[in-house]
Amino acid sequence: MIRRQWYVVLESKEVRTGRPVGVTRLGEKLVFYRDTRGRAVCLSDICAHRGASLALGEVHGENVMCPFHGLEYAPDGKCVRIPANGRDAPVPPNFRVAAYPTHEAHGFISIWWGDDAPADLEPPAFFDDLPEGMKWATVRDPWKAHYSRVIENQLDCVHLPFIHRSTIGRGNRTLINGPGVLWTGPDSFDMFVYNEVDSGQKPKRPDEVPMPNPSGYKIEFRFPNLWENRIAGKMRVLAAFAPVDAENTLLYLRVYQGFMTWPLVRSFMGWMISKFNLVVAHQDRRVVETQVPKASGLRIGENLFQGDKPIMEYRRRRQELIEAASKK
């Protein structure tokens, strides 16, 4: 996993006012709660005293209280009260836990995963082409796979006619033109897919396919863990790949639609599309969970070809970000 990055880790509705929530993300036990202004707070879920889970405790104003011995931690991770030592006793500086900056927008909670966050920390990037008024429905899907493998699956257009032959891969379009990859920023790129039936023709190179696609269709990726499939102007599928640990990922799969405005019909439509998206995702999941090694990388013994270009680009930039983070 890449340090010093913003990661989407939860949906906003998973952290309610008045009680802490414990989750495992990025290989760490974390506790989330909301302060008196409703802002999400993220701390290590391991009390500095004797290792108990803070998520089993209570929210006291701005702080979270450990259920074991009543120690209270402020949003910056510092312990501000040890009841056993007396109400006014100073707290030793070693009584503190890790605290991670949070950002909440678009119904997601992101954390900046790293040490010593810069004073001028910019908020995380999101997709800037979502039309106003689009409603969404989200499903949470656990995968027994490293998040990098789950991401690469969404950047893989070669597998469509095989894994998804009964759903989105119908038509036997096994020949891969391109695919085109257009970098839109240092940590974001668009992907353009032009699969077709193999009639003996030679596939076009990535530099021979139109970018952008004249139809407007594209797949967008934002490091470290956001993906969007721009199906149409009023129809999008978005995925956030929340790393749980080295072998597990929680996929937040969200459908946006703006073509149905009646509330009840809109809700039913969102539910139906989400169910279909889960069917498609589970066709992938059963195979991705078998991949070895668990984590992706530049040199892991795989033999790639032209159709894997988006995966190659992802791996190259991911390695650059890992190396850059290790030097800070």
Q: For residue 239, which of 230, 247, 296, 114 has the smallest C-alpha distance?
A: 230
Give the C-alpha separation, 208 to 206, whole Å. Answer: 5
All structural domains of the chain with their residue ranges? 5-113, 135-326
Give the C-alpha separation, 247 to 27, whole Å. Answer: 9
Domain 5-113 part of CATH 1.10.10.10: no
Per-residue pLDDT of the chain (328 residues; tens, 9 = 90+): 899 999 999 999 999 999 999 999 999 999 999 999 999 999 999 999 999 999 999 999 999 999 999 999 999 999 999 999 998 999 999 999 999 999 999 999 999 999 888 889 999 999 988 877 778 889 999 999 999 999 999 999 999 999 999 998 899 999 999 999 999 999 999 999 999 999 999 999 999 999 999 888 999 999 999 999 998 777 899 999 999 999 999 999 999 886 666 666 667 677 678 888 899 999 999 999 999 999 999 999 999 999 999 999 999 999 999 999 988 7
Model confidence, pTM = 0.93
Q: What is the CATH number of domain 135-326?
A: 3.90.380.10
* pLDDT of res. 128: 84
* Buried-state track 80-103, b at ≥16 Cβ within 10 A, e below 16: ebbeeeeeeeebeeebbbebbbbb
* pLDDT of res. 265: 63
* pLDDT of res. 273: 82
